Structure 1
Amino acid sequence: MNPKLMISSAEKIGNNQDLLAQILLRLPAKSLIKFKCVSKQWLSLISNPHFCLSHTRRQGHEGFLHPTALLLKVQYVLSPEFDVVPLKHFSQVPFFHYISTPYLNILQSCNGLFVCETDDDDNNVSEYFICNPTTKQFKKLSFLQNPIKDGEFYVSLAFDPLQSPHYKIIVVREVLKNSLIFELDIYASESDGWKVATTIFETKEGDCIKFEDSVFCNGKLHWNSYGNQSLYLDVEKECLQMMPMPTPLRGNRLEIYRYFGESGGRLYLAATCHAYIDLDLYVHQMASDYSHWFLKHRLNMGDAMEVFPELNLGCHPFSSGFSGVSFVGSERKEEVKVVIWADGKIICYDFNDGAWKMIHDPGPGLKIGTPIEYFNHLHEQRFIPYKYFESVYVFEDM
């Protein structure tokens, strides 16, 4: 082809803003971040909030986004470091070093945005941020009502770019220390304003509601609980409602961990029991009308060891050797996959064909896990999974 014709065609595309936008919309987020350096025109186009929203919505499938990777953090270890588990393609996820702090805790992941907390050991003060790891853009949160000293204070995020470009921050704040009386504060990015004490409510000591463990699904923010009931917030209506929780197992099988999550508009909860070398994982699904949970399946990790003999689960007297349970959908299939960290490898149980599969194996002799100086045994650590979505979403309320 004549080089002059090629240059002429490139110039025509470059000068046609609409055509260029349609081409760029079809590229992955990582490529778009690099292409911001091509020219001021491309930087302006790719940084435009309307373009970013259109690009994000193109990633949806049947009304839902699907994560690119899982970020695994070890519980109680405050660090900007984490392990990356690719789900679609290998993605070099940016660490959170651009938030300048040695102590960082991820609180929640929600459709491409993260809520993070930083701790200042010297002043015993926490700061909160929302950020997009793909673009390294972040925003510090400022509250109209700060937490009382030693009082309960929880921050959650409600964000679904397939429905709205705006997000809301929900704060559950204890009114008086040890009172079990809470207030809800809500920040809306659309108005860039707070509503303080939109709801005042009281919990019971036996409810065991974990306001630090929240899941946003179908326009509602749900909180995990180790009791028989919990709460969820209809974010649009700002209405708080009760919901049942799965009935704890009876007998000598005491539940020790509940993994709370969502996929494809459905709520899931997986429970493990505190018993010597207990390798069972009970997977529950919430009914669509929120009337009850039903037991979807009892998974036994011993079956996984038969498929993958290299796994050595149940070798530690006080830990089963698996954690980091997450629920991940498939773009072409109806059923969910239960993704699990197991003895340093990432496996899943696929409900579509009822089979155990390997998701990520770091290689012979290698295991995913925190450096051993933190723990006496690899299985003593408990991973918390956070879904990562590649997104060029930008904050308009900076």
Structure 2
Amino acid sequence: MRFITLDFDFIVLRSCNGLLLCRLAFCSDSYFIYNPITRDFTNLNLGTHPLSRQSYIIDHYLAFDPSVSSPFYKVVSLAVSRDSPLDWVFHVYTIFQPHSPRIGPPVSVSIPFPLAWESDSDRGVYCNGAIHWCNRGDFSVYFDVDAQCLKYYSMPLSNSDEWLKTRIYYFGESGGHLHLILPEPEPLKENQKPSFYDIFELKEDYSGWLLTHRIDMKSIRLQFTHMRSCFNYYIFHKNKSSISVLIVAREGAIINDPVDNTSTKLCDFEIGTSIWIRLAQGRVVPHFDILC
């Protein structure tokens, strides 16, 4: 590890329990782990990916759990064939810490994707030792990093007709909980925006989803001039039993408490600025203080 102030251009790819997986902006093969609190970073010399010269799209994920006493964390690469997008190949790299970082030999796990529909390979979310993907269907899958296998888990809607009319507005992790935001199930008129958004939480045993909160967007939209503005949602756990929802629109951002539906305006955006464009495109990663 090195202690340094980063003064070069880089892209934050993932956030995992206080650590950031980053890539140099102008070099597609240069990755590093960065801790914004201690300002430590570790170069990831992953070597040449065995599938990098073939027709594969490759995404990387960071798997790190500070609650587990361990001298290492893992980087998982997922290669998806351009010609056969249901064919997923995983490579697991173990990075040993803390004093003399070294990378163990990668473990390759070739798994034909077991479902009849495609999934966005770059949309995975790490939570409690597994990387989860979210699909509009009866089931989705997650990759158990330690067991190195894909497993199924059910989705909150089981009717395919319901999914055809439904958009997933948020899928993410906070505080060890996996959350999903879906619009109200009531039928809407053409081009009508939903008035309510339901927040679901995946049960710890993967047996199903709990409907925990509902966001009332009618009062929130009144705080913005452009009533038809698109909104992005991000869930953050304030403590073990309470959450907040960051709601981002083209004009600004607010924090909503879904329990009593109170909102606090955080800031206004100047339309067209880079921060607004990144927030509008979903370029937000969660982070919290950690000294590991």
TM-score (norm 1): 0.59
Higher RCO (C-alpha 8 Å, min separation 6): 1
Specify which of 175, 195, 206 is matched with residue 106 of structure 2. Answer: 195
Identical-pair percentage: 25
Task: Quote the Cα distance in structure 1 between the aligned partners of 2:284 and 2:51.
Answer: 28
- Tell me the secondary structure at the aligned position of residue 225 of structure 1: coil
Q: Deviations over 1:216-248 (max 9, x none)?
A: 222222223344322212222223211122327
Deviations 1:297-327 (A, max 9, x none): 442311334xxx5333533xxxx4321x222
Q: CA 1:195–1:275 in 2, change beyond 3 Å: closer, same or farther?
A: farther
SS at match of 2:105: strand
The equivalent residue for 2:230 is: 321
Q: 2:20 aligns with which of 114, 119, 122?
A: 114
CA separation in 2, counterparts of 1:217 and 1:269? 13
Aligned mate of 2:65, from 160, 175, 182: 160
Q: Does residue 182 in structure 1 map to residue 88 in structure 2?
A: yes
CA contact (8 A) 1:119 1:126 kept: no
User: After superposition, what is the alpha-carbon deviation per residue over 1:156-205, rounded to whole angstroms, capped at 9, x for unaligned?
Assistant: 11111121342111111135643521111111123731333234222545
CA contact (8 A) 1:185 1:194 kept: no
The structure whose Rg is larger is: 1
Task: Give how far 1:263 is off.
Answer: 3.1
Higher helix share: 1
SS in 2 for 1:200: strand
Counterpart Cα distance in 2 of 1:380 and 1:236: 33
Is the Cα–Cα contact under 8 Å of residues 137 and 155 in structure 2 kept in the other structure? yes
Equivalent position amino acid for 2:211 in 1: L
Q: 1:334 aligns with which of 237, 241, 247?
A: 241
CA distance in 1, matches of 2:20, 2:55: 25
1:383 corresponds to which letter in structure 2?
A: G
CA distance in 2, matches of 1:194, 1:213: 26
Higher strand share: 2
Report the Cα offset of residue 374 of structure 1: 6.5
Pick one of 227, 237, 253 that aligns with 1:345: 253
SS in 1 for 2:6: coil
Instruction: String of CA shifts for 1:357-376, please: whole Å, max 9, x gaps.
Output: 31x523xxxx146x61679x
Unaligned runs of 5+ in 1: 1-46, 48-93, 394-398
- Alpha-carbon deviation of 1:250? 4.5
1:251, distance to aligned residue in structure 2 (A): 6.5
Find out whether 1:223 has 2:123 as its counterpart. no
Shift of 1:346: 2.0
**Do the aligned partners of residues 108 and 271 (structure 1) sit closer, same or farther apart at CA in structure 2, a change above 3 Å counting?**
farther
Give the alignment of 1:21-32 within 5 angstroms: none
Q: Indicate the RMSD between aligned Cα atoms, in angstroms.
A: 3.6
Alpha-carbon contact 1:255-1:271 (below 8 Å) kept: yes
Please say if residues 136 and 163 of structure 2, whose CA atoms lie closer than 8 Å, have aligned partners that are also in contact. Answer: no
Deviation at 1:153, TM superposition (A): 0.9
Contact 1:321–1:379 at 8 Å: present in 2 too? no
Offset, 1:119: 4.7
Change (3 A) 1:378 1:127: closer
- Give 2:109's aligned amino acid: T
Partners of 2:55 and 2:82 within 8 A in 1? no
Give, as a single letter, the amino acid of the residue that structure 2 aligns with 1:232. Answer: Y
Change in CA separation of 1:139 and 1:224 when aligned onto 2, cut-off 3 Å? farther
Q: SS where residue 255 of structure 1 aligns?
A: coil
Residue 146 of structure 1: CA displacement? 4.5
Distance in 2 between the 1:380 and 1:220 partners? 26
Decide whether the 8 Å contact of 2:55 with 2:81 is kept in 1.
Answer: no
